[in-house]
Amino acid sequence: MAENASTLGQFDFAGDDHVVPFQVEGLDVRGRAVQLGPLLDAILARHDYPTPVARLLAEAVVLTVLLGTSLKFEGKFTVQTKGDGPVDLLVADFSTPENVRAYARFDEEALAKAVAEGRTEPEQLLGKGVLAFTIDQGRFSQPYQGIVALDGASLEEIAGTYFRQSEQIPTRVRLGAAELFDRDENGKPRHRWRAGGLIAQFLPEAPERMRQPDLHGGDGDSGVRNHVEDDAWAEARSLVETIDADELTDPQVGTERLLYRLFHERGVRVYEPKAVYDRCSCSRDKLKGVLKGFTAEEIEASQDNGEIAVTCEFCSTTYRFEVSEIEVA
């Protein structure tokens, strides 16, 4: 190892596009943290998304990476929103052990109107709908899906509601995305996207310590709660909530530095970072298989001068097929 080389535990060792698992033994907390740079910038630049859309998709990618890297089996983890707002679809998926892709769909006219009227908060752009988490372990297993309403001011809040309702593990999620304006090595102006996030979960040995307050029951609920939050989790949650959004995305505040800022008084242990990559799962063979399921009428409607062109919505790669390659089902 070079004399000045960084080692695990030193500030900024992980760098961008690496998820850092961590543990705070004094608070019975485990989690993961990440800062995304080049990976995210490549995904967003590929479609040249308007700023409000790019920011939403960036946070969805961070959430997907934080949760997807926790999988202990081969499979795919997908985060997807469907709503009636100008941004009607966000989808990001993580294929184990390290591949990420993402895509957003939006109504240009509706988005332009929302921006002109100053309606650019996440809840205004996504509208009413659902956030779905899907785990797919392959063809020999049924996919598992958890769904929560798009009822919150941000993806961070909505994800928090999901964990409260479905996982029953005290969990705090923080997400952030930002545009970075600087200059490249030649002094030319440069625009980049960055995003970061952290998930912390309370996992004590005694399960009864994980009890959380009941969710509000709606109309007629008196709101009286007798539950007292565990002191360790209350402290951990409060510390996580002190994170400033800029800290999650600041290239000068590496992941280990942020974790140290939060938990140094309690002692935080970090583990080997896991790299993640901007890699799409599409292929010519996969798309050809899809086309072979088309009827003769569908093939005729899809072809242009004897050729069918298919563009992947995620990575924008265009595959071209001669009609003669496609066998009519």
The CATH number linked to 266 is: 3.55.30.10
- Measured distance CA(162)–CA(154) in Å, rounded: 13
Q: 315 and 235: one domain? A: no
The range of the structural domain enclosing residue 127 comes to: 18-209+229-278
Residue 288, SS3 per DSSP: helix
The CB density around residue 251, as the number of other CB atoms within 10 Å, is 15
Q: 83 and 100: one domain? A: yes
Q: 58 and 124: one domain? A: yes
Decide if pLDDT at 329 tops 50: no
Q: 58 and 189: one domain? A: yes
- Measured distance CA(169)–CA(212) in Å, rounded: 8
Q: Which of 278, 297, 313 is the last residue of a domain?
A: 278
Confidence (pLDDT) at 6? 62
144-201 confidence digits (pLDDT tens)? 999 999 988 899 999 999 998 886 789 999 999 999 888 878 888 888 999 999 999 9
234-243 confidence digits (pLDDT tens)? 999 999 999 9
Residue 7, in any domain of the structure: no
Decide if pLDDT at 208 tops 70: no
Burial 6-26, CB ≥16 within 10 A → b, else e: eeeeeeebbbbbbbbbbbbee
Q: 316 and 236: one domain? A: no
41-63 confidence digits (pLDDT tens)? 999 999 999 999 999 999 999 99
Residue 304, in any domain of the structure: yes
214-226 confidence digits (pLDDT tens)? 555 555 555 545 5
Q: 172 and 313: one domain? A: no
Q: 155 and 25: one domain? A: yes
Residue 2, in any domain of the structure: no
Question: How would residue 3 be classed by pLDDT, with cut points 50, 70 and 90?
Answer: very low
Confidence (pLDDT) at 85? 97
Residue 161, in any domain of the structure: yes
Confidence (pLDDT) at 218? 53
Does residue 129 contact residue 141 with C-beta atoms inside 8 Å? Answer: no
% of the chain exceeding 90 in pLDDT: 66
- Whole-prediction pTM: 0.88
The CB density around residue 90, as the number of other CB atoms within 10 Å, is 27
Residue 22, SS3 per DSSP: strand
Q: What is the DSSP string of 94-128?
A: EETTTEEEEEEE--HHHHHHHHHTT--SHHHHH-S
Provide the token pair at 192: 């980049």
Confidence (pLDDT) at 241? 96
Question: How would residue 14 be classed by pLDDT, with cut points 50, 70 and 90?
Answer: confident
Q: 172 and 259: one domain? A: yes
| Mean pLDDT within 125-139 | 93
What sign results for the dihedral spanned by CA atoms 35, 148, 104, 321?
Answer: positive
Rg (CA), the chain: 22
Residue 146, in any domain of the structure: yes
108-126 confidence digits (pLDDT tens)? 999 999 999 999 999 999 9
Decide if pLDDT at 131 tops 90: yes
Decide if pLDDT at 31 tops 70: yes
90-107 confidence digits (pLDDT tens)? 999 999 999 999 999 999
Q: 304 and 202: one domain? A: no
Q: 34 and 162: one domain? A: yes
Residue 159, in any domain of the structure: yes
Q: Work out how many domains the chain is built from and give that number.
A: 2
Confidence (pLDDT) at 290? 87
How is residue 304 annotated by DSSP? Answer: B
- Measured distance CA(176)–CA(186) in Å, rounded: 29
Confidence (pLDDT) at 214? 54
Count, residues in the chain: 329
Q: 237 and 294: one domain? A: no
Residue 11, in any domain of the structure: no
Residue 67, in any domain of the structure: yes
Q: 261 and 302: one domain? A: no
246-299 confidence digits (pLDDT tens)? 999 998 899 999 999 999 999 999 999 999 999 999 999 999 888 888 888 888
Question: How would residue 212 be classed by pLDDT, with cut points 50, 70 and 90?
Answer: low
Confidence (pLDDT) at 168? 79
Residues 6+ apart with CB under 8 A from 133: 67, 77, 78, 79, 145, 146, 147, 162
Question: How would residue 13 be classed by pLDDT, with cut points 50, 70 and 90?
Answer: confident
- Measured distance CA(203)–CA(117) in Å, rounded: 44
